A and B are shown apart, each in its own frame.
Chain A
């Protein structure tokens, strides 16, 4: 209104600002250094990685940890397992969630309300507390130590379905109605109109589900005993606990363990970079109060 003369800065006073910067720098260090330490140790020689001290810079650069983890620990198998299980599981889950989410937006479909409540009810049953029955069920179905078992457990979640439903609700219903009058089939309306208009929603659940499946510890620990079907988190767990602080000679040297950690982290970083812009909206959606 008046010109720029009186435009003042609404910021913290100097001492507060400095304190804030110090606080943030300390936080940054406590978050960053442990991760950086992993990278440095993984690319050091076994001798340097196992030496004491703060390992945040290289004394020697060596890829022997990676070589060891691929050659002696055969990490290629769990890596392959993790990729197969996470990628196919995520693809199937996104498709099923989208289909079910689409069903839940049909305006005058009979039993829509009861189906929605049923799906919400399943979200109240925590999978981790029915673990023993899940084990027995998988045993009965012959899914122990199989890709089918690893993929199918946790394949559908009420959360993803409701997330998809919320995205579909923002697509104008009249679009579907007019296509229906023109004689399009439901499936055609679904993939010609709804799917293309729900890109961010699909990206969000793809990201969330991939991360969840890649990191899953409990289900693989429950339904696999055969090392041929171990996923990366299980192998990593065996590596770190075998050489935990109290036990004797470690199976794998520190640089090899850190190499395994790096290998497990890379795919997560890749999807994170691609999905970052959808993240805030997707993550907060799960925590909004209705």
Chain B
């Protein structure tokens, strides 16, 4: 038996060799950092000398630190807000684009809405910072309606900060959701529409009672993907934050980066990272249950 297994494995020796670099990579760059992170979350942070085991003290510190609690609510508010706007925007856009009969127009608007999704946050963040500046395009646009108003530095107003993060986030990624929705719309059986049209259903009613219900599986996938990424928005805040609006938008990943890498407070930062990981699993478990993701339909 054992010998047979060896024989079979020997037959695949070349194949195993092909896999070796990938397995080695995963062990060094994926598994080892995870183990190291879990270990560090139970150790004190010391820049010099050995750190010592301090139990769950780091976790307690995270819970008692108001900056972390604030970062948690910032993360959830901005994350959920962005997701909802992006979801609705993507859905309506896909429904709207699907009604265009002109092929060139269709692909043009599809490309332009998808374009920001593949740009780096340093590009998107940079261009919006400029648009929202006192001399930027938004102030210019508002001046068209009221030329006596004073210029607003939108990026320096805490009251607009979260709204800006939500809208720019949706601006960047809605095109991706549009793409997913459109792909699903195209695969709906066209004869259903023909039958409905013969029965006298208007196009808008068809969209409401045929297209949208048929998109439910795609919506579920998008919701699950969205919740997995909910707590993990680093790039946008890293680029677009500034000290005036920090309290409104500074999120967990940025705080972890700042504490762990810039300030060398590794113990607390890794504990926070572990908590984010656990929270992500809990949230996606709840969401999967609520939307009945794992049931067949």
Contact = CB atoms under 8 A, between A and B. Distances in A.
4 closest A-B pairs by CB: A215-B120, A133-B33, A54-B140, A132-B260
Size class of the A contact interface (CB-based, 8 Å): 35 or more
B15 A257 contact: no
B99 A12 contact: yes
A20 B96 contact: yes
Given A186-B14, A187-B14, A23 B92 contact: yes
Contact of A214 (B15, B97, B120, B257): B120
A280 B253 CA distance: 30
A55 B153 contact: no
B18 interface: yes
B52 interface: no
B127 interface: yes
Nearest to B259: A132
B130 interface: yes
Interface of A: 8, 10-13, 16-17, 20, 23-24, 27-28, 30-35, 37-38, 41, 50-56, 96, 99-100, 102-103, 106, 108-111, 115, 118-119, 122, 125-137, 152-153, 155-156, 161, 185-187, 190, 211, 214-218, 221-222, 232-234, 236-237, 239-241, 244-247, 254, 257-258, 261, 264-265, 268, 272, 276, 279-280, 283-284, 287-289
A283 B179 contact: yes
A180 B109 CA distance: 49
B133 interface: yes
Question: Chain B: interface secondary structure?
Answer: helix
Given A24-B100, A52-B143, A268-B119, 13 more contacts: A10-B203, A27-B109, A28-B112, A41-B130, A53-B143, A103-B15, A129-B232, A129-B273, A155-B29, A211-B118, A240-B239, A257-B126, A268-B118
Contact of A254 (B18, B37, B130, B171): B130
Given A31-B113, A108-B8, A109-B12, A38 B127 contact: yes
B179 A217 contact: no
A24 to B, nearest CB: 5
A289 B112 contact: no
B203 A12 contact: yes
Nearest to A152: B29
A222 B260 CA distance: 10
Nearest to B182: A280
A100 B32 CA distance: 20
Question: Chain A: interface secondary structure?
Answer: helix
Contacts of B29: 134, 137, 152-153, 155-156
Contacts of B40: 132-133, 136
Contacts of A239: 126
B34 A133 contact: yes
20 contacts: A12-B202, A12-B204, A17-B99, A31-B112, A31-B171, A38-B130, A52-B135, A55-B140, A103-B15, A109-B12, A136-B36, A156-B25, A214-B120, A233-B123, A237-B126, A244-B129, A245-B156, A254-B135, A276-B111, A283-B176
Nearest to A158: B26
Contact of A217 (B93, B131, B235): B235
Contacts of A133: 32-34, 36-37, 40, 270
Contact of A16 (B121, B204, B253, B266): B204
